[in-house]
Amino acid sequence: MSLALPQERRRLESLAPEALAEFQLRRLNELLRTILPHNRMYAEKLRGCRLPLASLDELASLPLTTKDELAARQGEEFSANLTWPAERYVRYHRTSGTRGRPTVVLDTAEDWRWWMETWQFILDSADMTPRDRVLMCFSFGPFIGFWSAHDACIERGALVVPSGGMNTIARLDLIRTSRATILFTTPTYALHMAEVARQHGLLPEHFHVERIVVAGEPGGSVPAVRARIEAAWNARVIDHAGASEIGPWGYGDRQQRGLRVIETSFLPEFLALDSGQPAKEGELAELVLTTLGRGGSPVIRYRTGDLVRPRWNTEDDNRFVLLEGGVLGRADDMVVIRGVNIFPSSVEQILMSFPEVVQWRMIARSVGNMDAIMVEVEDRLQQPARIALELQLRLGLKVDVQSVELGSLPRFEGKGQHFVDERRRGAGDKSLRKGC
């Protein structure tokens, strides 16, 4: 099966709301019709629900799905949402495990084809052509990382260069000698590679890199982080969002205002953070996604934990919903300090505006019945007071900022762990797991 042509993807991006809703409803009902006779988890969850859905307005009648529900059942090896027997699957990946025990996620050959088709929207945003040379800056372990991007770029006809098992200086040499034009990496590692390059007398802005596709962290849509990466490499940054248990669901808006949800492959919902009701335009909300083409490992109304601000009225040719500012943070990362909602990405935006700040880490602690944060910075000037003042001015609260030795904070090839949460966690709301 050949990939859809770019003009077909542009047509899908420009669908009127009514036509898009009809497209999504048809695909969702087809998916449910396929999986429910075989998928034990969703057969149980959706028992008693009125199906097929007559309109997308009825979607809210279906129960939400949580990450905990996907964990392997007692005595089983794979995620609980598998539709088919294991022998039908051809791809084995695991979630990163940054927020708990890794979950094994499988894909059939048909699922993987859906990944490839969906990835083409992201590659369009990066203007990739067969003339490009693409270097994958990740380790090629079981975490899905950029495995799907690797295969999608091959489908696109680009020359793809793997760099698994290399240290940073070897990877930099490969970027230079392969004359790579596009890098796939995380925002943190893009900055780290530039830092190491300069330490070894290399100038990454003089390499052949023209574009950098980033994922795994909010930095690609954080203006200060994006600007620093683009200055370090003299290259354009394209943001991307996805997850092992969901798929490659978002790509950078061309005007760099945030992320677009690929609404022909994913059905998005937005639950207002304060009320849990459908969010209004620009309201802070949790992103909920339903896969529309991954029959082997589907998720229906999956709570991503990502906090976003949806915008529908952007007056663009692209009518896919815009998440202004990208993923702003995670619901479980939000710290409330004296009534102010603080996200690591907000702190990062401020810290990265200081060119002398090399690395940082935010630590959240419980002090009595209240939350508190402390920020550690590698600051070439060793003057944390000026940073604390800027945080106070822009966040509206006093933050303890401590300067640490250059090179003392951890560096990451994968997702950067800039946020350490030492607060106690409750058991969570299990009521969302009920069926119809």
* pLDDT mean across residues, the chain: 90
**Phi and psi angles of residue 187, each rounded to the nearest 5 degrees, phi first:** -60, -45
Inform me whether the pLDDT recorded for 106 exceeds 60: yes
Domain ranges, residue 362: 334-421
Contact 375, 361 (CB under 8 A): yes
- Does residue 428 have a pLDDT over 70? no
Share of the chain above pLDDT 70, in %: 94
Residues 190 and 49 in one domain: yes
Residue 431 lies in a domain: no
Decide if 427 is inside a domain: no
Residue 102 is assigned to a structural domain of this protein: yes
- Do both 84 and 178 map to the same domain? yes
Q: What is the pLDDT, as a whole number, of residue 41?
A: 97
Question: What pLDDT, in 10s, does the model give residues 174-198?
Answer: 999 999 999 999 998 999 999 999 9
The answer to whether residues 18 and 154 belong to one domain is yes
pLDDT of residue 419: 85
Q: What is the pLDDT of residues 260-277, one digit of tens each?
A: 999 999 999 999 988 889
Instruction: Say yes or no to pLDDT of 16 above 50.
Output: yes
State the CATH number of the domain containing residue 389.
3.30.300.30
Average pLDDT over residues 2-18: 90
Q: Answer yes or no: is 432 within a domain.
A: no
Total-model pTM: 0.86
Q: Is the pLDDT of residue 132 over 70?
A: yes
191, 71: one domain: yes
Express each pLDDT in 368-427 by its tens digit: 777 788 999 999 999 999 999 999 888 888 889 999 999 899 876 656 678 888 875 543
**Residues 345 and 308 both lie in one domain:** no
Last residue of a domain, one of 279, 301, 331: 331
**Residue 227 is assigned to a structural domain of this protein:** yes
152 in the same domain as 30: yes
Of 282, 299, 331, the residue at which a domain comes to its end is 331
Q: Are residues 290 and 372 in the same domain?
A: no
Tell me, yes or no, whether 256 and 184 share the same domain: yes
Same domain, 304 and 379: no
Task: Domain count for the chain, please give it.
Answer: 2
Same domain for 180 and 61, yes or no, is yes
89-105 in b/e burial notation, b at 16+ Cβ within 10 A?
bebebbbbeeeeebbbb
434 within some domain = no
| Domain closes at, from 314, 331, 348 | 331
> What pLDDT score was predicted for residue 361?
92
User: Which residue's entry shows tokens 């002398």?
Assistant: 356
Residue 428 in domain: no
Q: Considering only CA atoms, which of 102, 113, 156 is closest in space to residue 247? A: 113
pLDDT digit string, tens, across residues 305-359: 999 999 998 778 999 999 999 998 888 777 777 777 788 888 888 998 999 999 9
* Domain contains 130: yes
Q: What is the pLDDT of residues 40-63, one digit of tens each?
A: 999 999 999 999 999 999 999 999
322 & 411 share domain: no
CATH code at position 237: 3.40.50.12780
Same domain, 240 and 142: yes
**Segment 15-29 mean pLDDT:** 97
